[in-house]
Chain A
């Protein structure tokens, strides 16, 4: 089983619908992230959480919300989906390390969302 699991892997929805993408991890990491990938733009940070009680906005948080239900679970919600939120979404984790342990992210396999 993957260390970082995202569900669903693929989703097609309509404009205005509420969508939740879920992420769970078995790595025991305290930090979790949601990124969005668009062709030609790379990955952009939506939200991140350094602990269960900690939620922080990334560079493109508008239109999104998150919930950190437990150390191992971090979900991303689109309250009212719009077509320009069509993208590939990645959950990632890491831990607060030092030196060479710092910064390295461990990624899920992605959730492809299409908003019609």
Chain B
């Protein structure tokens, strides 16, 4: 069965520091890959997605993610974190393009 692993439950970074959130997936072929963000009390908003082509994808709010087939990873990065980035981040895969499977989420805390 397909699965998504986000190894870090919580991450704390200082405002202005760089950020990397890890995501590994288990699937035989290259799935569709997504990163969503959930601010407190809100639904999930799509940050970026990967389907094919360039393995470095740009998203909203200054985020980017890199697909590495050899590592089955799709890590999310941001060069300089802002206090407003504090939220929970979910990696998700859609193996056949249907029915997203989500990771457990990583809670990001930003300290000033």
A100 within 8 A of B: yes
- Give B36-58 interface residues, CB cut-off 8 Å to A: 41-46, 49, 51-52
Determine whether the beta carbon of B43 is less than 8 Å from that of A90: yes
- Give A33-50 interface residues, CB cut-off 8 Å to B: 33, 35, 40-45, 48
Determine whether the beta carbon of A58 is less than 8 Å from that of B99: yes
A72 CB → nearest B CB, Å: 17
B102 within 8 A of A: yes
- A-contact bits for B83-95, CB 8 A (1 contact / 0 none): 0000000100010
Give B33's nearest chain A residue, CB to CB: A103
23 A-B residue pairings within 8 Å (CB atoms): A31-B98, A35-B102, A42-B103, A42-B105, A43-B90, A45-B99, A48-B99, A90-B43, A97-B97, A102-B32, A102-B51, A102-B97, A103-B98, A103-B100, A104-B34, A104-B46, A105-B46, A105-B100, A107-B43, A107-B44, A107-B45, A109-B42, A110-B42
Chain A contacts to B: CB under 8 angstroms:
4, 31, 33, 35, 40-45, 48, 58, 90, 92, 97, 99-100, 102-105, 107-110
